[in-house]
Structure 1
Amino acid sequence: MLPTDTLFLLAALVGLFYVWCRYTYGYWQRHKIPYIQPIPIIGNTKVMFTLSKSFFLYLSDVYDDDKMSNAAAVGIYIFNKPAIVLREPELIKSVLIKDFQKFSNRAAACDPHGDALGSNNLFFIRNPQWKELRTKISPVFTTGKIKHMYSLMTEIGLELETNLKTYAKSDDSFVTDVKEVSALFTTDLIATIAFGIKANSLANPNGEFRKQGRKFLEFTLRRAIDFSIAFFFSNWVSKLRIKLFTPEFSTFMRGTISHVMAEREKSKATRSDLIDVLVNIKKEAVENGEYNAEMQDVLTAQAAVFLTAGFEASSSTMTFTLYELSKRPDLQKRLRNEIYEALVAENGKLSYETISNLPYLGMVVDEVLRLYPVLPILDRQHLHKDGESPFDLKPYYDYTVPKDMSVYIPLFAIQRDPKYWPNPNTFDPERFSPENKNTHPPMAYMPFGNGPRNCIGSRIGLLQSKLGLVHILKDHYVATCAKTPEEITFDPFSFVLSYKDGIYLRFVNDKLYERSANK
Structure 2
Amino acid sequence: MALTEGLFLIVGALSAIYLWFQRSHSYWQRKGIPYIQPTPIIGNTSPVFTQKNSFGLHISEVYNDPKMQDEAVVGIYVLNKPALVIREPELIKSVMIKDFQRFSNRYARCDPHGDALGNNNLFFVRNPQWKEIRSKLTPVFTSGKLKQMYPLMQEIADDLEAHLAQQKTGQDASNIVEIKDTCSRFSTDSIATIAFGVRANSLTNPDAEFRTEGRKVLEGTVSRSKDFFTVFFLPKLVSLLRIKFFTKEYSNFIRKTIGHVISERERTGTMRNDLIDVLVGLRKEAAQQPNKPHLANIPDFLVAQAGVFFTAGFETSSSTMAFGLLELAKQPELQDRLRREINNAFLEEGSGKLSYEKINSLEYLSMVVDEVLRLYPVLPFLDREYQGIKGQPDLSLKPHYDFQLENGTPVFIPIYGLQRDPKYWPNPNVFDPERFSPENRKTIEAMAYQPFGLGPHNCIGSRIGLLQTKLGLVHILKNHYVRCCSQTPKDITFDPKTFVLQLKSGMFLEIVNDRFYDDRAAQAL
TM-score by length of 2: 0.96
The structure 2 residue matched to 1:438, chosen from 435, 439, 442, is: 442
With over 3 angstroms needed to count, the CA separation of the structure-2 counterparts of 1:516 and 1:12, relative to structure 1, is closer
Provide the alpha-carbon RMSD of the alignment: 1.9
Q: Which amino acid aligns with 2:329?
A: S
- State whether residues 196 and 274 of structure 2, in contact with CA within 8 Å, keep that contact through their aligned partners in structure 1: yes
Q: Distance in 2 between matches of 1:453 and 1:138?
A: 12
With over 3 angstroms needed to count, the CA separation of the structure-2 counterparts of 1:292 and 1:367, relative to structure 1, is closer
Per-residue CA deviation, residues 143-200 of structure 1 (Å, 9 max, x unaligned), is 1100000011111100000001121166411100000000000000001000011111
For 1:421, the equivalent position in structure 2 comes to 425
Q: Distance in 2 between matches of 1:451 and 1:116?
A: 27
**Given the alignment of the two structures, is residue 370 of structure 1 paired with residue 349 of structure 2, yes or no?**
no
Q: Which amino acid aligns with 2:249?
A: E
With over 3 angstroms needed to count, the CA separation of the structure-2 counterparts of 1:122 and 1:292, relative to structure 1, is closer
**Given the alignment of the two structures, is residue 510 of structure 1 paired with residue 514 of structure 2, yes or no?**
yes
Q: Distance in 2 between matches of 1:413 and 1:32?
A: 24
What is the CA-CA distance between 1:23 and the residue it aligns to?
2.3
What are the equivalent positions in structure 2 for 1:270-349 lying under 5 Å apart?
A: 270-289=271-290, 290=293, 294-295=297-298, 297-347=300-350, 348-349=352-353
What is the CA-CA distance between 1:21 and the residue it aligns to?
4.4
For 2:251, the equivalent position in structure 1 comes to 250
SS of 1:477's partner is strand
With over 3 angstroms needed to count, the CA separation of the structure-2 counterparts of 1:514 and 1:5, relative to structure 1, is closer
SS of 2:447's partner is coil
Among all aligned residue pairs of Structure 1 and Structure 2, give the percentage whose two residues are the same amino acid. 59
Q: Distance in 1 between matches of 2:110 and 2:135?
A: 22
- State whether residues 283 and 296 of structure 2, in contact with CA within 8 Å, keep that contact through their aligned partners in structure 1: no
What are the equivalent positions in structure 2 for 1:196-207 lying under 5 Å apart?
A: 196-207=197-208
SS of 1:107's partner is coil
For 1:351, the equivalent position in structure 2 comes to 355
Could you list the runs of 5+ residues in structure 2 that have no partner in the other structure? none
SS of 1:249's partner is helix
Q: Distance in 2 between matches of 1:327 and 1:71?
A: 36
What are the equivalent positions in structure 2 for 1:116-135 lying under 5 Å apart?
A: 116-135=116-135
What is the CA-CA distance between 1:486 and the residue it aligns to?
1.1
With over 3 angstroms needed to count, the CA separation of the structure-2 counterparts of 1:515 and 1:17, relative to structure 1, is same
Q: Which amino acid aligns with 1:78?
A: V
What is the CA-CA distance between 1:218 and the residue it aligns to?
1.5
With over 3 angstroms needed to count, the CA separation of the structure-2 counterparts of 1:7 and 1:302, relative to structure 1, is closer
For 2:469, the equivalent position in structure 1 comes to 465
Per-residue CA deviation, residues 290-331 of structure 1 (Å, 9 max, x unaligned), is 469853511111100110000000000000000000000000
Q: Distance in 1 between matches of 2:245 and 2:12?
A: 42
Q: Distance in 2 between matches of 1:292 and 1:73?
A: 38
Q: Which amino acid aligns with 1:121?
A: N
Q: Distance in 1 between matches of 2:498 and 2:262?
A: 32
**Given the alignment of the two structures, is residue 499 of structure 1 paired with residue 500 of structure 2, yes or no?**
no
Q: Which amino acid aligns with 2:151?
A: S
SS of 1:354's partner is helix
What is the CA-CA distance between 1:205 and the residue it aligns to?
2.1
Per-residue CA deviation, residues 88-125 of structure 1 (Å, 9 max, x unaligned), is 00000001101001000000001112111111000000
With over 3 angstroms needed to count, the CA separation of the structure-2 counterparts of 1:183 and 1:7, relative to structure 1, is closer
SS of 1:84's partner is strand
SS of 1:443's partner is helix
SS of 1:450's partner is coil
What is the CA-CA distance between 1:455 and the residue it aligns to?
0.2
SS of 1:370's partner is helix
